[in-house]
Structure 1
C-alpha cells in the first residue's frame, strides 16, 4: 500500500539528485510556496481560489499536494537537467526504472485571454499504478519517474507520454501541474503562475483498474466521487475533467483546456 502520511520522515532520507539544471541560470522567486495538506485548511483555501478562478475564467487553482518535488516541500527536481522531457515514464539521473501501467498520453492546451499561450512551461506529475509518488513514497524515494517539464508550442499545447495513475485512498484519480511563464522560470514553485489538477473520467478509470497491477484502485475508487473529493468537489471538476479516448490495448489520451 502507498504510504502517503509519513512524508515528514521520508524527506529526511531523500537521495541527492544528479545533473542539476543550472544552465538556465535563473534564480528562484521570492521563496517557496507553503504546500497545504489535505485537511480543512487546505479545503477552505482550495474553495476560495477555485471561486476566484471561476469568476475570471481561469483554470481553478488547487493545492500542489504534499509530494510536488518543486522545492516547496523537500526535494526540487525542477532544476535537474533531465526534467525537461516529453516521456516521463522512466526515472533519470541515478536510476532508469520505468513506471509500468496502461499508457496515457496527456495534452494540456494553454490559453491566456482566449489566445494560445506559446513559450510557457508546464511541470506535470502524478502517482504510479500502485498509488506511490516518486521521491516521497516508501520504496520509491530513489526514483523520479512520472515527473516532467515541457514548453508549450505555438498552439499553446504541451504533451506528456505517461501511464494511467492509480486511485489511492481518499483522492479521485488525478494529475498535478504547475504553469510557468517560461522554461527559464520553471526552476522552483515560487515562480509558478498557476497550479491545478486534472481529473480522469470514471468510466475509463473503471476499465483501466480492471487490469493487472491496478487491483487496489478498484476499492479506493468505490469510496470516493468527484463531488466528495476534497479538491474537485467545489464544482465536480466541471473544468478539470479531461476528455479521454482510446483503449487498454492501444493506450489512452487525456486532453484538458487550461486557461491561465
Structure 2
C-alpha cells in the first residue's frame, strides 16, 4: 500500500525500498499512469478480462474430462456449416423432352418392363442379344436431391438412356432396332446417387451431345412405367466433347458438333444448359466420369 507521502509500504506498514518494490509496484504504478492519461478505462479492462475468460473456457473444453477417454474427446462432430450445406436449397433442374426414343412406352416400345433393365453397366444389350456398344468409357453419376431442402433422395428410381458412338438409339434407329444397349434403371443410394457404366455418346446432327434421364418415386414405379417425377437431360461440356471426338470412331461427331452450340440447341438453348452441364473428370484414354446434381 501507499502512505500519505506516496511511499510504498508492505502489509505490516514497513516502507518498501524502491529497489525491492517488485512486480506489484510496477503494475500499480502502470495502472496509476494509465488512469492519469485516461486511456486505461473500464471498457478496455473488461475486454481484457473477457478475453482471458474465453481462453480459459476454450482450454477447458480442449482438455479431456476425467470421465471420458482422450480419444472420445478428440472425436470430431459434424460442423453446423457442413450440416447446413447438405440442406441448402438448390435450383430445380428444368423439365425437358424425353425425345422420340425414350423406350418407356410413351412412344412405341417399352423396355422398362423387360427383365434385366435394372442394372448399372448399360454398355451391352440384354435378353436375346449381347451386342456391346463401343466408345470412350464414361461413368455417369447422377445425384437426386429435393430442390426445396437440398436433402438427398434415397431409394428413387432413375432410368437413363442415350445414343451410341454412331448417334443411333437402340430399339429405334436403323440397324439397332433389336438392341437395347445404353439403357438402364437404378435405385439411388443413401446419398441420392446412381452410377451407370457406359460409353461417351456421339454428337448427331441438330443436337448438342446429351444424355436423357427420368426420375421416378422408386424402382418399382419405374419398371411399371408409372408416374414420372422428372424428365430432363444432361449436357456434356464442349471441352470434353472436343477431346473425345478426336478419337477413332467419332469422326462424324466432329462435323456435327461444329454446327451446333448450347445456345442454338433446341433443348438447352433457353438458358445455355446452366443447370444441366455435367462436371467432368478423367481422360479419353482411361475414361471419363460425368457428374450432375439433379434438383427435383
For the aligned pair, the TM-score class normalised by the smaller chain equals: 0.7 to 0.9
Mapped to 2, the partners of 1:193 and 1:187 lie a distance apart of 14
Contact 1:170 1:224 in 2 (8 A): yes
Gaps in structure 1 of 5+ consecutive residues: 1-55
4+ residue stretches of structure 1 with deviation over 4 A? none
Deviation at 1:130, TM superposition (A): 0.1
Q: How does 1:109-120 map to 2 (within 5 A)?
A: 109-112=143-146, 113-120=149-156
Q: What's the CA shift string for 1:71-128, capped at 9, x where partnerless?
A: 0001100011100000000000010000000000000011013100000010000000
* TM-score normalised by length of structure 1: 0.78
Deviation at 1:58, TM superposition (A): 1.2
Among 99, 103, 116, the residue aligned to 1:69 = 103
Deviation at 1:70, TM superposition (A): 0.1
1:101 aligns with 2:143: no
Deviation at 1:189, TM superposition (A): 4.8
Alignment RMSD: 1.3
Q: When the two structures are aligned, how many residues end up with a matched partner?
A: 206
Mapped to 2, the partners of 1:188 and 1:81 lie a distance apart of 12
- Name the structure 2 match of 1:170: 206
Structure with the bigger RCO (C-alpha within 8 Å, sep 6+) is 1
* TM-score normalised by length of structure 2: 0.68
Q: What's the CA shift string for 1:28-80, capped at 9, x where partnerless?
A: xxxxxxxxxxxxxxxxxxxxxxxxxxxx9311000000000000001100011
Contact 1:128 1:165 in 2 (8 A): yes
Gaps in structure 2 of 5+ consecutive residues: 1-89
- Name the structure 2 match of 1:151: 187
1:130 aligns with 2:166: yes
- Name the structure 2 match of 1:60: 94
- Name the structure 2 match of 1:200: 236
